[in-house]
């Protein structure tokens, strides 16, 4: 029995699908299936029921799963303990960012490049996705650190550090005389809306506020990052729901912003798992990201592209 086989088994059990597990592990599906079958032969019992489209655990598999997770976590703790004792940095750090978070004022690429220069033996991977997807990835252990937007109270399973906190605004064409300086949530829902993709923190914030008020938002256009939302609003295709931007920047982009009543607050956070130990290399990179993002602390200004 090998540790990698246990890791493969846990991935298939969590994904309930060999294809998704293989993609998560960056493996070819036939190789993954062969390793699981070898593990089952060594144990003398089937761990997975493959008789339906969704892979399920057999009774033996259900009993083995928590033990496999515990074994993997124990090995990880041993490695981290030895690394911290010797001061050695090695391994691989996996970072996630919300779409559009790599703005000019906060040079995420520069932070990663500095880290790589100082620790060339450390591998780094970067994933750009929605907040919901990265939240799940951090909890699963597929990401070490994520910069994401959170619509509700932080998950206690995650360690978090607030980077930015601001009221969300609406953007309309600069020359439009249809709107005043404020717009209520019911009024907002009478217009075609331009918003971030489902799974983003800002989109969840809007949907939660509308659900609480018994409203249904009419989302006509979706984009992965705020700049395109602003462009669509400037052309009069709807009302964009965006993080705040300076008045001069809004005018230059062809829009003006309206306060939303009742207000909705968007929060950008660094997140990591509270349920598993963080590798020394990830701790070092987390510290460097904290320094780079310190200008985004509550009340500070930052680029619109980085607050999705």
Please report which confidence band the pLDDT of residue 75 belongs to, taking 50, 70 and 90 as the band edges: confident
Specify the pLDDT at position 188: 95
- What integer best gives the mean pLDDT of the chain? 86
Same CATH fold assignment for domains 3-86 and 92-163+267-306: no
Q: Which tens digit of pLDDT belongs to each residue from 245-297?
A: 889 999 999 999 999 999 998 888 899 999 888 888 898 899 989 888 875 55
CATH superfamily of 92-163+267-306: Periplasmic binding protein-like II (3.40.190.10)
DSSP collapsed to 3 states, 160-209 = EEEEEEEECEEEEECCCCCCCCEEEHHHHCCCCEEEECCCCHHHHHHHHH
User: Does the pLDDT at position 305 exceed 90?
Assistant: no
Phi and psi angles of residue 168, each rounded to the nearest 5 degrees, phi first: -80, 145
Q: For the chain, what are the domain ranges?
A: 3-86, 92-163+267-306, 169-263
Q: Which CATH number fits domain 169-263: 3.40.50.11440, 3.40.190.10, 3.20.20.70, 2.60.40.420?
A: 3.40.190.10
Q: What is the pLDDT of residue 154?
A: 76
29-43 and 18-25 helices, crossing angle to 10°: 110
Helix 29-43, helix 3-15: angle, nearest 10:
110
Mean pLDDT of the region 5-26: 91
Residue that the structure tokens 């109270």 belong to: 153
Structure tokens at 75: 């090995």
3-86 folds as Arc Repressor Mutant, subunit A (1.10.10)
Structure-token pair, residue 69: 């997770």
């Amino acid at each position: 029995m090998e540790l990698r086989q246990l890791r493969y088994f846990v991935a298939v059990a969590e994904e309930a699908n060999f294809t998704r597990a293989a993609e998560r592990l960056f493996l070819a599906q036939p190789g993954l299936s062969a390793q699981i079958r070898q593990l089952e032969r060594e144990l003398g019992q089937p761990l997975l029921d493959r008789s339906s489209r969704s892979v399920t655990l057999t009774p033996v598999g259900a009993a083995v799963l928590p033990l496999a997770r515990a074994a993997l976590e124990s090995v990880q703790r041993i490695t981290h303990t030895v690394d911290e004792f010797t001061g050695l940095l090695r391994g691989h750090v996996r970072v996630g960012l919300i779409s559009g978070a790599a703005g000019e004022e906060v040079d995420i690429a520069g932070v990663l490049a500095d880290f790589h220069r100082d620790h060339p033996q450390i591998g780094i991977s970067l994933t750009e996705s929605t907040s919901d997807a990265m939240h799940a990835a951090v909890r699963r252990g597929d990401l070490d650190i994520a910069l994401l937007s959170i619509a509700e109270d932080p998950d206690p399973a995650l360690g978090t550090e607030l980077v930015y906190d601001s009221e969300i605004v609406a953007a309309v064409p600069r020359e439009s005389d249809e709107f005043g300086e404020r717009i209520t949530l019911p009024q907002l829902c009478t217009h075609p809306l331009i918003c971030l993709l489902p799974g983003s923190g800002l989109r969840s914030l809007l949907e939660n506020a509308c659900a609480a008020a018994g409203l249904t938002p009419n989302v006509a256009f979706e984009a992965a990052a705020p700049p395109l939302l602003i462009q669509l609003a400037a052309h009069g295709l709807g009302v964009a729901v965006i993080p705040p931007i300076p008045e001069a920047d809004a005018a230059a982009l062809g829009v003006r912003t309206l306060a939303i009543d009742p207000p909705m607050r968007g929060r950008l956070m660094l997140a990591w798992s509270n349920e598993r130990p963080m590798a020394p290399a990830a701790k070092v990179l987390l510290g460097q990201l904290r320094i780079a993002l310190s200008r985004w602390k509550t009340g500070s200004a930052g680029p619109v592209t980085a607050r999705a």
